[in-house]
A and B are shown apart, each in its own frame.
Chain A
Amino acid sequence: MNNNADEDAVAARRRALAAALRGGEDVVVTPSGEVEFQSEAEEQGHTAIQVPDGKLARRG
């Protein structure tokens, strides 16, 4: 896979994560702070905290 394809895949994954957050699906955060799907964390054996339910507040 070349660099462009890698970058496309990374961007597509970010968009999928954003869509999951928008849809209220569960996502987790790993010890490095990376936002991941629960399934990814499980596959990689990461200890991860689930992002609490709820939406970001409007302010400012």
Chain B
Amino acid sequence: MGFYWYQSDPDLLEAEQMAMGKYFPSFKLYKLEDGSGRLYWRGKVQPTGKGGMVWDLMLIYKNTHPQAEEGMYGGSIQILPVKPRLVDIAKTLPIKPEKGLGLGLPHIYRDNFGRNEEYFICTADPKYFKASQTRSTSAASSLSWACKWIMLCEMWINGEVSDEVAIEGVY
């Protein structure tokens, strides 16, 4: 029995690797070098296709994986855009809390990461997020959520969808 989820449940780690290898083979698995023991996937996606932005992403497992803590948006896997950084995009946008845009961008949350506070993609409402011993959400499914968010976010920034994108339950 190991300390970390991937030690105590190697079958789950293998399932995660198989899913990522099948659906997102360009992503590679690493361990954070901060002593936390947390694993993460890193790779690039282009959700709007050719001509769209390329996003460099980290998918970081919490050490509670596959258990999601109560009220935690995004469950036990955090999605951190490395380039572009959401905090940099958000700085250029107006803050409209009444429209769900309190951080400038829709469906994001902030958390500490290393020495910085970063903005993460808020991939799913906790009530939709599958997390239990028998049905965990994988990095692959989290990444598919993130690609959905990125496509909608780019469209919103370009004025192709309205501020309704920030309303829970619309998209």
Contact = CB atoms under 8 A, between A and B. Distances in A.
Contacts of A51: 144-145, 147-148
Interface string A10-52: 1100110110011000011101111100000000000111111
B151 A52 contact: no
Nearest to B168: A58
B4 interface: no
Contact of B122 (A21, A34, A35, A56): A56
B84 interface: no
A56 B151 CA distance: 13
A1 to B, nearest CB: 15
A3 to B, nearest CB: 11
Nearest to B109: A59
Q: Interface range on chain A: under 10, 10 to 19, 20 to 34, or 35 or more? A: 20 to 34
B100 A49 contact: no
A52 to B, nearest CB: 5
A59 B144 CA distance: 19
B80 to A, nearest CB: 15
B56 to A, nearest CB: 11
A29 B144 contact: yes
A5 B65 CA distance: 47
Contact of B141 (A14, A18, A32, A52): A52
Given A33-B47, A52-B141, A60-B110, 5 more contacts: A32-B26, A33-B44, A35-B148, A55-B125, A56-B148
Interface of B: 22-26, 44-49, 51, 55, 73, 100-103, 105-110, 122-126, 128-130, 137, 140-141, 143-145, 147-152, 155, 160-161, 165-171
Interface of A: 10-11, 14-15, 17-18, 21-22, 27-29, 31-35, 47-60
